[in-house]
Structure 1
Amino acid sequence: MNVSSFPPLIDERSRILILGSMPGVASLRAYQYYGNPRNFLWRILYALFDNREPDPDYEDRLAFALGNGVALWDVIANCERKGSLDSDIKLAVPNDIPGLLQRYPNIEALVCNGAKSFAELSKHYGSFPEVAGRKVIRMPSTSPIPTPQYRGLEDRLQAWRAIMEL
């Protein structure tokens, strides 16, 4: 199935751009960034910036991210994928990350949400001056799927604390 990402959530206050790979099925259905209620991204952002649970309203979550200098987008514009797994992504076409960074020069750091995001960014744009001139860090995926190193929210939150020093 051909799937496409969302427009970027960004404004002139944004300093950190969190880059996913491609929204999962639940997020695509809801047409919401990190729309799967089991995904940890919103809980991590709220824990880091305000030490509280996420707002229930999606629009309030978007405003919270922007108000804290956090922008959201995906490295992949569209691809072929059955289900939600990054490992099933085929024929990935990248979003214009360098163009976005030219339009929003206040972005200081690119935070890749998971290995696929980092790999695709590096593959398509790693040598571009707009990317190479900024901090690029790979964080563990906020997906609810456990990995040998990251079992749940607490260990992911601990790793994601690194963005507070960007």
Structure 2
Amino acid sequence: MLARSFPPIADARARLLVLGSMPGVASLTAGAYYAHPRNAFWPIMGELFGAGPELPYEARRKRLITAGVAVWDVLQSCRREGSLDTAIERESEIANDFAPFFADQPALRLVAFNGQKAETAFRRRVTPMLDVATTARLRFVRLPSTSPAHAGRTFHEKLAAWRDGLASVIN
């Protein structure tokens, strides 16, 4: 099936951009980032920025924006059966247009990849299109995937890694 990502959660105050690869089936169905109930993203955002799953989705979005956190996906579209990153057909990947996005985010300093696939797709599809000045002002970090499919770490291990990786932008 052809999957298409959502517009970013962002405004010009963003200091941090969290990048996933492509929303899963539960997220696409709900029209919301990280909608799978076992995905650790919103519980981690709750611990770090007060944007936890107990809040309505729109309130979580607003809390992230207020905290200087942007959320987007590397891929604009791709073909994939199911939700797993490993099912993404590599030749079908089309990246989002990051050059104007980064230009509209003057405060952005840190790009955090939510898992290996997001980082791999970004480095393959996006980095070659960026100018040196953009990449020089940004720091990039890969964090453990919040996906329930990434069961190699407990929630507390993922939270600790995210807290450490984002320490420079957490108030």
Same fold, TM-score > 0.5, yes or no: yes
Letter in 1 for 2:160: Q
Q: Which residue in the other structure is 1:42 paired with?
A: 42
- Mapped to 2, the partners of 1:31 and 1:132 lie a distance apart of 34
Spell out the pairing of 1:1-166 with structure 2 (5 A cutoff). 1-50=1-50, 53-90=52-89, 91-127=92-128, 128=130, 129=132, 130-148=134-152, 150=153, 152-161=154-163, 162-166=165-169
Query: Is 2:44–2:52's contact at 8 Å kept on the other side of the alignment?
Result: no
- Quote the offset at 1:47 in angstroms: 0.5
Name the aligned partner's letter for residue 56 of structure 2: D
Letter in 2 for 1:27: S
Give the AA of the match of 1:156: K
- Alpha-carbon distance in 2 for matches of 1:87, 1:132: 30
Distance in 1 separating the partners of 2:168 and 2:67: 13
Q: Distance in 1 between matches of 2:49 and 2:167?
A: 8
What is the deviation of 1:126? 2.5
Q: Which amino acid aligns with 2:98?
A: I
CA contact (8 A) 2:19 2:73 kept: yes
Whole-angstrom distance in 2 between the partners of 1:119 and 1:53: 28
Render the CA deviation track for 1:5-38: whole Å, top value 9, x for unaligned. 0001100221100000000000000000111121
Gaps of 5+ in 2: none
**Identical-residue share of aligned pairs (%):** 39
Structure 1 alignment gaps of length 5 or more: none
Alignment coverage as a number of residue pairs: 163
Structure 2 length-normalised TM: 0.89
Partner SS for 1:165: coil
What is the CA distance between 1:73 and its match in structure 2? 0.4
Tell me which stretches of 4 or more aligned residues in structure 1 moved more than 4 Å: none
Following TM superposition, by how much is the alpha carbon of 1:144 offset from its aligned partner in structure 2, in angstroms? 1.2
